[in-house]
Structure 1
């Protein structure tokens, strides 16, 4: 066979899907996996989808993979994050990879590992990264791609990446979706754009996942109020979600939430959501985002709260025991008018909270860019999230527009459009939280988002008292409102005079 355009290591769900996506777009692909069954399955699917004509070439070893790809080679890794990435890199070095070859990590790697690998493998090959969002369907028919690293490598793979990426209608900002093997979307704007130096792409994807955690939690809180506080059926809630999905809350997560709520269980005949165990898992990216916020001093309380909500869900046995002991508030029946009113309040609470969650994520990326010397194009980042990724939503067009208006925007909350949106909807946002709290239904996502908004809009916070406390017990000093910035003062608290000293 002729030499292939690109090589793949790892043919699990994501690797196989990306390889077949490239094949659909006219590229010849060489593929290797330590599990020969996965190779065979990929080759079989390729022939099945292409009238028995092979576009993917199976390889039996790393050496065979290198021999099957045109030089300078581009090799894509679709293996679990962490040690497996370095294991494959070492195997490729032993197999004879060359300095001008490119190795592209497409896993959910921690961004600092990506930075370390670029330095570690310099001179042996170009280590590049591309964060991928969209799950199996996205990888197969159009993901959102966040590439970063050496610009030489980007220029090499750019045509392939923009070919396989999700596409957006430039006029409407909405995804062009066509899930058909052999018939890729070629029109529209591709959701693949260079992010920055190595590590930047995986950092941006990490924040994407943190926002995803928050978005999912916020939807779940709206569902919880309707299911438990209003005794609505899953099907009725699905109908509300479908209605919401026609407006400002139009998003992939809203769409699939409605589908989940409509699904009936084949075993019991009950709504499937009622028989799914309420214990959520996580793979770490939401936690990484929260930790980065703490490290950089950039507040991401709604993202952190969504991680804690999953942790709380894991305490299933404790929660069941506590439910028999801890008192709940008395529930007051609602009239039909009150129910309709609360549904609208929840809509506005979800919208405002979502604005705040995205504001937190973009502010974190802004802070990280300064700390790491990156130049991030936030308008472009919002654009490549409009399709292919899990948080894709019509809402992202408004974010892109905000950064086009002001590329140095400190926070989405102070953009004229978003400031106006919250001003128009905050009364219902506050009412929804108050009513949920009275009913005893936890709404940490909504509440943390509101606290973030209220904290950001206030010129004075109670940190003045906090600084007084710190100076009292630890002599940490404080600044004065009527003195130049940076001047430090300390009160001699342990003395009768309590003199104030300039430090």
Structure 2
């Protein structure tokens, strides 16, 4: 009897589409879902190379050894429960892969737990949503490299391709794959919010209609700003509502949810003493969008500020340049965070390769990733993307536009936390004085925390005059 080559547990949207993707590449796929009705529905559709099972042990016994099982279930306790359950049935050398958005420290812990049972574990970041899962996602595998080599034929076959190369590469040990996916999602938060702010500015200050803004974003997508998120933003603004006249966007409630990966990125930033202020601002923008009662009260208490008249054609170009620079800063902060984590956790991350697998299949795929690849391929020790010569030239061309757009947003009362965070961050890097000397003095005044002087080495304390 021919055994199945790989099994997938969890057959909801992502799991189902990954199963079909793998099966379409002529691999024999076994499927199992806690609710058998979901599996049965797939079986009724009679997909080639796919067999569903009602019983977990029967599912496991159908797999060739070493067994390879991909978990596509909700992150958290469900993964722990499944690992415990599977450990009762699996043998030495079998492989469990977690393809969900798990917290990377949970992946490290699970890896150690299963290693004691001689079961291999991989944490695999997968980006691309429903369409990517079916047609080719970006894949970020982390764990033991020898274990990855046992499953790479599946992962590289189903991954998106860019110039014939799979958007899948070994990331690093234990939790590295899920860490990189976490930062990917953080960058995604920032880029989405930058497009939101561009939309608000063009609408409120530029006075553009939805269809006119769609044209603007379409033109951006024909330039160096070409990206998946810019493309879908243009399409969203064109979409007509099925129930009323006008575009659907105007009938969608003005608040947004999240699944937590942006929060994790912000928390790790603080733990690592790094700065991903654009990601943090984007996360908090979503949080604040849900302050229903407070927002409703403030809308009644305060009038809309008067917006300054602008030349709409000049203004749209200013917004374009501000968006381009804001995006650069968001990516630079995210890649700096990964660079620090690489040292901190001894992962030896190849940032150029990571940029290369983001070029297709994933949500943050963008033309700009070619620049990032080139930067790290030319200098693997590059301290920060903002020190790349090509990027410095873009900053010089665009920084005044970012400053103008941020100023107009504040004057016009258009909430633009990520644009403002971007110019603030660049000004912090650019300024000779950032006021930290006063912080040192304050801390020494009230807590004798000492300070350093500019004219001599060593630690100092002053008896301040109370």
The TM-score normalised by the length of structure 2 is: 0.98
Residues 20-99 of structure 1 aligned to structure 2 (within 5 Å): 20-47=20-47, 54-94=48-88, 96-99=89-92
Q: Which runs of 5+ in 2 are unaligned?
A: none
1-structure distance, mates of 2:460, 2:217: 55
Q: Which runs of 5+ in 1 are unaligned?
A: 48-53, 170-187, 496-503
2-structure distance, mates of 1:402, 1:318: 45
2:166 equivalent to 1:153: no
2:440 equivalent to 1:446: no
2:291 equivalent to 1:315: yes
1:262 alignment partner in structure 2:
238
Residue by residue over 1:174-213, the C-alpha shift from the partner in whole angstroms, topping out at 9 and shown as x without a partner, is xxxxxxxxxxxxxx00000000001011000000000000
2-structure distance, mates of 1:341, 1:410: 35
2:216 equivalent to 1:240: yes
1:276 alignment partner in structure 2:
252
The answer as to whether partners of 2:144 and 2:174 remain within 8 angstroms in 1 is yes
2:5 alignment partner in structure 1:
5
2:189 alignment partner in structure 1:
213
1:175 alignment partner in structure 2:
none
The answer as to whether partners of 1:20 and 1:140 remain within 8 angstroms in 2 is yes
The answer as to whether partners of 2:406 and 2:420 remain within 8 angstroms in 1 is yes
Residue by residue over 1:152-189, the C-alpha shift from the partner in whole angstroms, topping out at 9 and shown as x without a partner, is 210101111110000002xxxxxxxxxxxxxxxxxx00
The answer as to whether partners of 1:303 and 1:357 remain within 8 angstroms in 2 is yes
2:106 alignment partner in structure 1:
113
In the TM superposition, what is the alpha-carbon distance from 1:82 to its structure 2 partner? 0.4
In the TM superposition, what is the alpha-carbon distance from 1:459 to its structure 2 partner? 4.2
The answer as to whether partners of 1:150 and 1:198 remain within 8 angstroms in 2 is yes
The answer as to whether partners of 1:62 and 1:91 remain within 8 angstroms in 2 is no
Give the 3-state SS of the residue equivalent to 2:66 in structure 1: coil
Give the 3-state SS of the residue equivalent to 1:221 in structure 2: helix
1-structure distance, mates of 2:302, 2:123: 49
In the TM superposition, what is the alpha-carbon distance from 1:142 to its structure 2 partner? 0.3
1:324 alignment partner in structure 2:
300
Give the 3-state SS of the residue equivalent to 1:489 in structure 2: coil
In the TM superposition, what is the alpha-carbon distance from 1:151 to its structure 2 partner? 1.5
In the TM superposition, what is the alpha-carbon distance from 1:326 to its structure 2 partner? 1.7
In the TM superposition, what is the alpha-carbon distance from 1:42 to its structure 2 partner? 2.3
2:386 alignment partner in structure 1:
413
In structure 2, do the counterparts of structure 1 residues 46 and 375 end up closer, same or farther at CA, with 3 Å as the change threshold? farther
Q: CA RMSD in A?
A: 1.2
2:327 equivalent to 1:354: yes
In the TM superposition, what is the alpha-carbon distance from 1:41 to its structure 2 partner? 2.3
Residues 332-343 of structure 1 aligned to structure 2 (within 5 Å): 332-334=308-310, 338-343=311-316
2-structure distance, mates of 1:46, 1:90: 31
Give the 3-state SS of the residue equivalent to 1:213 in structure 2: helix
In structure 2, do the counterparts of structure 1 residues 141 and 72 end up closer, same or farther at CA, with 3 Å as the change threshold? same
The answer as to whether partners of 1:131 and 1:202 remain within 8 angstroms in 2 is yes
1-structure distance, mates of 2:235, 2:242: 15
Give the 3-state SS of the residue equivalent to 2:31 in structure 1: strand
2:377 equivalent to 1:404: yes
1-structure distance, mates of 2:190, 2:396: 21
Residues 189-228 of structure 1 aligned to structure 2 (within 5 Å): 189-228=165-204
1:15 alignment partner in structure 2:
15
The answer as to whether partners of 1:167 and 1:191 remain within 8 angstroms in 2 is yes
1-structure distance, mates of 2:294, 2:201: 22
The answer as to whether partners of 1:210 and 1:286 remain within 8 angstroms in 2 is yes
In structure 2, do the counterparts of structure 1 residues 227 and 191 end up closer, same or farther at CA, with 3 Å as the change threshold? same
Give the 3-state SS of the residue equivalent to 2:443 in structure 1: helix
Correspondent of 1:252 among 212, 220, 228: 228
Residues 430-445 of structure 1 aligned to structure 2 (within 5 Å): 430-445=403-418
The answer as to whether partners of 2:205 and 2:309 remain within 8 angstroms in 1 is no
2:459 alignment partner in structure 1:
488
In the TM superposition, what is the alpha-carbon distance from 1:494 to its structure 2 partner? 4.3
Residues 157-172 of structure 1 aligned to structure 2 (within 5 Å): 157-169=151-163
In structure 2, do the counterparts of structure 1 residues 162 and 253 end up closer, same or farther at CA, with 3 Å as the change threshold? same
1-structure distance, mates of 2:463, 2:44: 79
1-structure distance, mates of 2:340, 2:36: 45
What is the count of residue pairs matched by the alignment?
465
The answer as to whether partners of 2:206 and 2:316 remain within 8 angstroms in 1 is no
1-structure distance, mates of 2:191, 2:43: 37
1:299 alignment partner in structure 2:
275
1-structure distance, mates of 2:57, 2:305: 67
The TM-score normalised by the length of structure 1 is: 0.91
The answer as to whether partners of 2:319 and 2:405 remain within 8 angstroms in 1 is yes
The answer as to whether partners of 1:30 and 1:65 remain within 8 angstroms in 2 is yes
The answer as to whether partners of 1:287 and 1:307 remain within 8 angstroms in 2 is yes
